[in-house]
């Protein structure tokens, strides 16, 4: 299985701050990577797919980048509603695998 | 809009079977792919398997022969059965729809249902 190593495990950011979350795959996943946000008690929301494509309705302060085995999610200007858990998903090879998650809080 | 809703028992005894239903509105399950994903205490997530628009299935090898995903197209529902459960199957279970374009991304998820395996 492809291992997805996500960092950091937790992050505290001030309002307006720009933050990044990383996912590293154990092998090339050819940009077949998605980023999700999950708020407490809610279902995951797709933010980014294909490494850098913004899902419809997602604010433009969210962006994704990367290729090969290294990917990142950037939030440009932290907002209060961005608090939550974030995780990556590789959709390149069965079985699909997830990163371990990042808990993002407001400082 | 597409909506998914999981339902089923919240408590299952060890060695028994876990059975969940995913009810879909706003989209026919005879189109696209439909999956089951679970989130364990501690937040690790696992893709369990999917059923396709034609009824074909694919499962995570880690679940070996314990898992079965079926459907009822007349009710627009699909189902998860996991046999011989242990306490390690305690998790929140989600059903989800694959995004129509591109690779294996799930764009709509149910709210999840928590299942505890305990005697």
Is A44 at the interface with chain B, CB within 8 A? yes
CB contact under 8 A, B43 and A32: no
**B104 with A91: Cβ contact below 8 A:** yes
Candidates A43, A49, A91; nearest CB to B111: A43
Residues of B in contact with A50 (CB under 8 A): 102-103, 105
**pLDDT reported for residue A93:** 95
Give pLDDT, residue B100.
86
pLDDT in tens, A25-82: 999 999 999 999 999 989 999 999 999 999 999 999 999 999 999 999 999 999 999 9
Instruction: Reply yes or no on whether the pLDDT at A96 is more than 80.
Output: yes
Residue B102: predicted pLDDT: 78
Residue B52 to residue B44: CA distance in whole angstroms: 25
Q: What is the pLDDT of residue B101?
A: 81
Q: Taking CB atoms and an 8 Å cutoff, what residues of chain A touch B111?
A: 41-43
Mean pLDDT over A1-21 rounds to 97
C-alpha separations of A76 from A48, A50, A52, A71, B21 in Å: 14, 19, 14, 16, 39
> Under an 8 A CB cutoff, do A42 and B111 touch?
yes
The answer, for A34 touching chain B at a CB cutoff of 8 Å, is yes
pLDDT of A24 above 80: yes
- Is the pLDDT confidence value at B45 over 80? yes
Q: What span, in angstroms and rounded, lies between the C-alpha atoms of B103 and A5?
A: 20
Sign of the dihedral defined by the CA atoms of residues A93, A96, A101, A104, in that order: positive
Smallest CA–CA distance from B103 into chain A, residue: A91
Nearest-CB residue to A32 (from B58, B61, B103): B103
pLDDT digits (tens, 9 = 90+) for B49-104: 999 999 999 999 999 789 999 999 999 999 999 999 999 999 999 999 999 887 88
Nearest Cα neighbor of B14 from B90, B69, B91 is B90
pLDDT at B64: 77
């Amino acid at each position: 299985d492809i291992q997805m190593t996500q960092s950091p495990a937790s992050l505290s950011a001030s309002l307006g701050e720009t933050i990044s979350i990383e996912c590293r795959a154990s092998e090339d996943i050819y940009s077949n990577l998605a980023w999700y946000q999950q708020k407490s008690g809610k279902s995951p929301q797709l933010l980014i797919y294909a490494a850098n494509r913004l899902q419809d309705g997602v604010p433009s302060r969210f962006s994704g980048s990367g290729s090969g085995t290294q990917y990142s999610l950037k939030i440009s200007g932290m907002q209060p509603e961005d608090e939550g858990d974030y995780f990556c998903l590789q959709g390149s090879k069965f079985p699909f695998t997830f990163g371990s998650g990042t808990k993002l809080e407001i400082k | 809009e597409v909506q998914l809703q999981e339902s089923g028992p919240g408590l299952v005894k060890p060695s028994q079977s876990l059975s969940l239903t995913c009810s879909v509105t706003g989209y026919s399950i005879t189109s696209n792919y439909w999956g089951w994903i679970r989130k364990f205490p501690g937040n690790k997530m696992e893709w369990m398997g999917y059923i396709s628009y034609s009824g074909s299935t694919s499962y995570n090898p880690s679940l070996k022969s314990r898992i079965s995903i079926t459907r009822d197209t007349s009710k627009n529902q699909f189902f998860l059965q996991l046999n011989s459960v242990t306490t390690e199957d305690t998790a929140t279970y989600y059903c989800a729809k694959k995004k129509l374009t591109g690779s294996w991304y799930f764009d709509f998820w149910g709210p999840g249902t928590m299942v505890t395996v305990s005697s």
